Homo-oligomer: A and B are copies of this chain.
């Protein structure tokens, strides 16, 4: 059979990994796919460099439009990133009737609705396994493996940079800033790490998972996003004393009132599998009605792990190219006409538990007033820890772990607690999930 010809947009880290793995494992992949899959054309702004990386039978151009215009190209792989030229080229590829594989979570989270609608109209596939959790086949698991289930919630460690930073903070008792610098020096964090540390990258991925888990339109713009930049290492230590670890989680949850979609630091039980996902690794936990809890673990980024996902998509498309579009796996797991407009809950309405750290005056009655206010707002206490403060002699640190309550209740309670004259520092609060 004739080879499948791939046009690659962007030969950076993942692009080069894809090129190399396709060549190194060519025989293995062909034994599976039944077809030879090869990158026959590459577009990159640095043509010189690109030429030095690929073999002479691979055409290198500096304009992606040349790939899209080439009738011999069956599938376009977009590995440029961002919303600019990547968006234009993906849309142009779809319009010209080509299938698309992309690792671009930002693009899908922001423009996914129009991209998938265009693909649907043109009867082409847009595959995006590489956009979430790198090499872990989580899109396939959610979209096909768990298709029998009503998915209840997803909780994922889906940003390796922040997980690496949190692991370093815990293991070495470092500040956020120290751990960030280490991550940057080791290449786990970019020079401008904003998207990672502020939770935006995790929010892109959580939004994509929410869409395919629940059959809703891409909900990124309604996500609640809180990064790890405010996290203090003492809270990691206190959490550990209470039997928890702090992870940046992307949570998507179906509730009777709507969908929760929130990215924030979160205490999770130290004994749970997800708490033990350390360093730059990723893991996604999925709770579903028939199967119960499943978890998927692996490298969430990097050249060849991400290439693994890109190539899995290429093989899938190769197989389904000739199939009637009606019989293909729908882009977002649910048939396009079956997508629902379920509201995304504002963070005020979310039900979650809390870890609170209060710097209070070392006086009689403080605990009574604080717990009295929590009781007034119907917030019950799960665990407590009182620590002598290390920096002020007449104050003490009070750690309270609550049971679940609606976040707006907690806001109201904290406002009142903060106004107590004996509460002398801003209250630190971190959400907590038992994930059971």
Q: A312 contacts which of B21, B25, B148, B310 (Cβ < 8 Å)?
A: B148
| In the bound complex, CA of A167 to CA of B329 (Å) | 39
| In the bound complex, CA of A294 to CA of B274 (Å) | 14
Q: A147 contacts which of B17, B136, B312 (Cβ < 8 Å)?
A: B312
Oligomeric state, in number of copies? 2
Q: Is A296 in the interface zone, CB < 8 Å from B?
A: yes
User: Beyond A297-B295, A319-B327, is A17–B140 a contact (Cβ under 8 Å)?
Assistant: no
- Chain B residues near A310: list those with CB within 8 A: 148
- Chain B residues near A334: list those with CB within 8 A: 31-32
Let me know if B215 and A308 touch, CB within 8 A: no
Let me know if B137 and A316 touch, CB within 8 A: no
| In the bound complex, CA of A289 to CA of B303 (Å) | 12
| In the bound complex, CA of A145 to CA of B277 (Å) | 21
User: Beyond A147-B32, A273-B276, is A308–B288 a contact (Cβ under 8 Å)?
Assistant: yes
- Chain B residues near A149: list those with CB within 8 A: 21, 25, 28, 308
Residue interface bits A250-277, CB-to-B below 8 A is 1, else 0 = 0000000000000000000001010011
Dominant SS at the A interface?
A: mixed
Question: Nearest residue in B to A311 (C-beta to C-beta)?
Answer: B148
Shortest beta-carbon distance from A315 to chain B in Å: 5
Let me know if B312 and A144 touch, CB within 8 A: yes
Let me know if B137 and A144 touch, CB within 8 A: yes
- Chain B residues near A134: list those with CB within 8 A: 291
Shortest beta-carbon distance from A135 to chain B in Å: 4
- Chain B residues near A172: list those with CB within 8 A: none
Shortest beta-carbon distance from A310 to chain B in Å: 8
Q: Is A323 in the interface zone, CB < 8 Å from B?
A: yes
Q: Is A397 in the interface zone, CB < 8 Å from B?
A: no
| In the bound complex, CA of A321 to CA of B327 (Å) | 9
Q: Is A326 in the interface zone, CB < 8 Å from B?
A: yes
In A15-29, the 8 Å CB interface with B consists of 17, 21-22, 24-25, 28-29
Let me know if A308 and B290 touch, CB within 8 A: yes
- Chain B residues near A328: list those with CB within 8 A: 319
| In the bound complex, CA of A312 to CA of B309 (Å) | 21
Q: Is A333 in the interface zone, CB < 8 Å from B?
A: yes
Let me know if B141 and A17 touch, CB within 8 A: no
Let me know if B308 and A25 touch, CB within 8 A: no
User: Beyond A32-B330, A150-B25, A315-B144, is A298–B291 a contact (Cβ under 8 Å)?
Assistant: yes
Q: Is A359 in the interface zone, CB < 8 Å from B?
A: no
Question: Nearest residue in B to A292 (C-beta to C-beta)?
Answer: B299
Shortest beta-carbon distance from A244 to chain B in Å: 16
Let me know if A299 and B293 touch, CB within 8 A: yes
| In the bound complex, CA of A30 to CA of B29 (Å) | 32
Q: Is A201 in the interface zone, CB < 8 Å from B?
A: no
Q: Is A307 in the interface zone, CB < 8 Å from B?
A: yes
Let me know if A135 and B291 touch, CB within 8 A: yes
| In the bound complex, CA of A293 to CA of B279 (Å) | 14
3 tightest CB-CB pairs across the interface, nearest first?
A: A137-B145, A148-B311, A294-B298
19 A–B contacts, CB within 8 A, in A order: A21-B148, A25-B149, A28-B149, A140-B140, A148-B307, A148-B309, A148-B310, A149-B308, A290-B308, A291-B298, A291-B304, A293-B298, A293-B299, A294-B296, A295-B298, A296-B296, A296-B297, A323-B323, A323-B327
**Further pairs besides A25-B290, A31-B335, A140-B140: 18, Cβ < 8 Å:** A21-B290, A25-B150, A28-B149, A32-B215, A135-B290, A137-B294, A140-B145, A141-B145, A146-B308, A273-B273, A288-B308, A292-B302, A294-B297, A294-B299, A296-B296, A319-B323, A322-B323, A322-B327
